[in-house]
C-alpha cells in the first residue's frame, strides 16, 4: 500500500512538471510569453509598467517609488519595481527580467546613463517603449525623458552661492561621474560662475565628482580643500543634500559650519533640519508627485499608442528626446515653511525637532482648523471604505 501511494505521488509530481513545461511562463500580473518567446498582451487588461530603479538609498528615491505605485493604482495600472542597488550588471539583468514579465512600458531610473542604453535596445527589440526617469539614458532611442530642469537646478545653486558669497574661494562637489544629471548640474553651475571666475571675484579651488553621490566622498573633497587653502573657503556648491551633508561634516571639524555657504538639492529631511539650524544654506525642492504622475500618465499613453504631450526636447547624443521637465524651487530658511512644509513634503515637527520649541514658527488658528478638517475627512473616508 505504501509503495502504491509513493508511486501515485511520483506520477502526480511528474504530471505537474510536464504541465509546467507545456505552458509558457506566466507572471502573477497576467503577462504571458508564448512558444515563440513573444509576449501576448491583453489589450483590454491593465497597463503593466516595469520600473527599473538604480537605488532606494536616498530618501527621495523612496518617495519616487511610493508615488509611482500610488499613481499607477489610481489609474488602474500595475507596477513591478526592481532595484539594482547601484550595480549596472544587476540593473541590466533586472530590466531583462521585467521584459520577460511582459511589461507594456519600461520606466528606467538608470545608475549609469551610458550603460543603460543596452536596456533600451532590448526593450525596442520587443516593441516595449522606454521612459527615462529623472536621469537621461544616453545614446539610445529612448521614447521619453521625464525629469526636472536639471541644468537650471545647477544655475540656481550657483546663483544662490554668488548672491550670498560674491567673492572668495569656492569648492564645487559634483555628483556621481556615471550620472548624466551630475554633469548637467555642473554645466549649469559653471554657466553662472564662469563670469565671476573670469572677473577674479571668485576662485574655484576644487571641482570634483563625488563617487556614487556618497557623503564620505564630499567630506574628503572639502577636507582636502580646507587643508590646501588654510580654511579660506566661502562657499561649497554641493550638488545634492547627501553631498551637502558630507561637506558640512568637514566644515564642522573646523568650526566653520554655518559660516560657509552650502547648497544642496532634494529637500531631504536631514537637509531641512540643517537649514533651520543654520548649517546648510539652501536646497532645491523638487516636488516628486508631479514627476511620478507625469511618468505614469505618459506610460499609460505609450502603452495605448497615444501621443504624449512633451513640450521640451533634450539631446541624449543620439536623438532629441521628447521631454517633460518639472520646475524646481529654491528653498532656504526664509521660505521653507511656505514651500516644503506647507506642501506636506516634510512635517514641521520633524524639520524643527532639533530646534527649541519656542523658536518654532507659530501656526495660525486657520492652519489648526485646516489640520483638524483634514483629520476629520481622513477618518470619514476610512469609515466609508469599511462600509
In a domain, 254, yes or no: yes
> Do 169 and 229 contact (CB within 8 A), yes or no?
yes
Nearest to 277 by CA among 198, 199, 214, 359: 359
Structural domain harbouring 214: 150-286+333-359
Q: How far is CA 169 from CA 148, 200, 233, 301, 359, in A?
A: 29, 10, 5, 49, 33
Whether residue 206 sits in one domain with residue 134: no
pLDDT computed for residue 32 by the predictor: 56
Q: Are residues 81 and 154 in the same domain?
A: no
Gap between the Cα atoms of 273 and 127, Å rounded = 46
Q: E strand or H helix at 81, and its extent?
A: strand 78-83
Residue 20: predicted pLDDT:
38
Contact 286, 328 (CB under 8 A): yes
CA distances from 83 to 51, 53, 54, 288 (A): 8, 5, 6, 18
- Contact call for residues 158 and 189 (beta carbons, < 8 A): yes
Please check whether residues 181 and 200 belong to one and the same domain. Answer: yes
Q: Evaluate whether residue 102 is within a structural domain.
A: yes
Same domain, residue pair 180 and 266 = yes
Considering the domain architecture, whether residues 93 and 170 belong to the same structural domain is answered as no
In this structure, are residues 267 and 313 in contact, taking their beta carbons and an 8 Å threshold? no
Phi, psi of 176 (to 5 degrees): -70, 135
Same domain for 339 and 322? no
**CATH number for the domain harbouring residue 101:** 3.40.50.2300
* Cα–Cα distance list, 54 to 58, 64, 89, 108, 237 (Å): 11, 12, 11, 8, 24
Residue linked to cell 525623458: 145
Per the structure, the count of domains in the chain is 2
Does 206 reside within a domain? yes
Question: From CA 179, how far away is CA 186, in angstroms rounded?
Answer: 11
Judgement on whether residues 154 and 134 belong to the same structural domain of the protein: no
Residues 174 and 274 in one domain: yes
My answer on whether 213 and 185 are in the same domain is yes
Q: What angle do CA 68, 80, 320 make, to 5 degrees?
A: 65
User: In order along the chain (387 residues), what is the average pLDDT of each group of 10 residues?
Assistant: 48 41 35 59 87 94 97 98 97 97 97 97 97 97 97 98 98 96 97 98 98 97 98 98 98 98 97 98 96 98 96 96 97 97 95 95 56 49 50
Residue that terminates a domain, selected from 326, 349, 381: 326
Any residues with CB less than 8 A from the CB of 348 and at least 6 apart, and which? 337, 341, 360, 361, 363
Q: In sequence order, what are the residues at sequence separation of 6 or more whose Cβ sits closer than 8 angstroms to the Cβ of residue 248?
A: 257, 262, 274, 279, 280
295 and 281 housed in the same domain: no
Is 381 within a domain?
A: no
Let me know if residue 24 belongs to a domain: no
Confirm whether 33 is domain-assigned.
Answer: no
Asked if 258 and 311 sit in the same domain, the reply is no
Cβ-count burial 108-124 (b if 16+ within 10 Å, e if not): bbbbbbebbbebbebbb
Sign of the CA dihedral 314, 177, 163, 134?
A: positive
Q: Is residue 375 part of a domain?
A: no
Q: Is residue 373 part of a domain?
A: no
**Is there a single domain that holds both residue 212 and residue 244?**
yes
Amino acid at each position: 500500500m505504501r509503495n502504491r501511494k509513493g508511486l501515485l505521488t511520483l506520477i502526480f509530481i511528474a504530471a505537474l512538471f510536464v504541465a509546467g513545461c507545456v505552458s509558457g511562463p506566466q507572471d502573477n500580473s497576467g503577462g504571458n510569453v508564448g512558444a515563440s518567446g513573444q509576449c501576448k498582451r491583453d489589450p483590454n487588461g491593465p497597463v503593466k509598467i516595469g520600473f527599473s530603479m538604480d537605488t532606494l538609498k536616498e530618501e527621495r528615491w523612496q518617495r519616487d517609488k511610493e508615488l509611482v505605485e500610488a499613481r499607477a493604482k489610481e489609474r488602474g495600472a500595475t507596477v513591478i519595481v526592481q532595484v539594482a542597488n547601484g550595480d549596472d550588471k544587476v540593473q541590466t539583468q533586472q530590466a531583462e527580467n521585467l521584459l520577460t514579465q511582459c511589461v507594456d512600458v519600461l520606466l528606467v531610473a538608470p545608475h549609469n546613463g551610458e550603460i543603460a542604453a543596452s536596456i533600451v535596445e532590448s526593450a525596442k527589440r520587443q516593441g516595449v517603449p522606454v521612459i527615462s526617469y529623472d536621469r537621461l539614458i544616453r545614446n539610445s532611442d529612448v521614447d521619453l525623458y521625464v525629469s526636472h530642469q536639471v541644468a537650471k537646478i545647477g544655475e540656481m545653486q550657483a546663483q544662490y552661492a554668488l548672491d550670498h558669497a560674491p567673492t572668495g574661494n569656492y569648492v564645487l562637489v559634483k555628483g556621481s561621474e556615471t550620472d548624466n544629471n551630475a554633469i548637467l548640474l555642473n554645466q549649469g553651475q559653471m554657466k553662472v560662475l564662469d563670469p565671476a571666475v573670469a572677473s577674479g571675484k571668485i576662485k574655484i579651488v576644487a571641482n570634483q565628482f563625488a563617487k556614487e553621490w556618497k557623503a564620505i566622498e564630499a567630506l574628503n573633497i572639502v577636507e582636502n580643500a580646507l587643508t590646501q587653502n588654510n580654511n579660506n573657503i566661502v562657499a561649497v556648491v554641493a550638488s545634492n543634500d547627501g553631498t551637502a551633508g558630507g561637506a558640512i561634516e568637514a566644515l564642522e571639524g573646523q568650526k566653520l559650519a554655518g559660516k560657509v555657504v552650502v547648497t544642496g538639492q532634494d529637500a531631504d529631511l536631514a537637509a531641512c533640519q540643517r537649514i533651520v539650524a543654520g548649517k546648510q544654506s539652501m536646497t532645491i525642492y523638487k516636488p516628486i508627485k508631479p514627476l511620478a504622475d507625469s511618468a505614469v500618465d505618459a506610460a499609460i499613453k505609450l502603452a495605448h499608442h497615444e501621443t504624449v504631450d512633451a513640450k521640451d526636447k533634450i539631446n541624449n547624443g543620439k536623438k532629441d528626446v521628447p521631454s517633460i521637465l518639472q520646475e524646481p524651487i529654491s528653498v532656504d530658511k526664509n521660505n521653507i515653511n511656505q514651500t516644503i512644509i506647507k506642501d506636506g513634503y516634510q512635517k514641521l515637527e520633524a524639520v524643527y525637532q532639533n530646534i527649541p520649541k519656542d523658536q518654532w514658527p507659530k501656526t495660525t488658528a486657520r492652519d489648526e482648523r485646516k489640520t483638524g478638517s483634514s483629520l476629520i475627512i481622513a477618518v470619514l473616508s476610512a469609515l466609508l471604505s469599511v462600509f
